[in-house]
Amino acid sequence: MELSYQTMRTFADSWGLLYMFIIFCFVVFWTFRPSSKPMNDDAAQIPFKEDN
């Protein structure tokens, strides 16, 4: 099966957008899950830590 421009364009217009939306929702959920709060707080303090 040869993937032409039209085939890829049709896929991107239909299922590609849905796929990217699902990935986006997963990343948002993963970032804001309650168990990641300590890790996010630690990462937020990196600019204020002094290098020795």
- Per-residue model confidence as pLDDT tens digits over 13-44: 889 889 999 999 999 999 889 998 999 899 99
Those residues whose C-beta lies under 8 Å from the C-beta of residue 36, and which sit 6 or more positions away, are 30
Token pair 């085939």 is found at 7
Residue 25: the pLDDT is 97
pTM for the whole structure: 0.60
- pLDDT greater than 70 at residue 1: no
pLDDT greater at residue 3 or residue 28: 28
Cα atoms in the Cβ-side hemisphere of radius 13 Å centred on 37: 2
Which of 17, 12, 21 has its CA nearest to residue 4?
Answer: 12
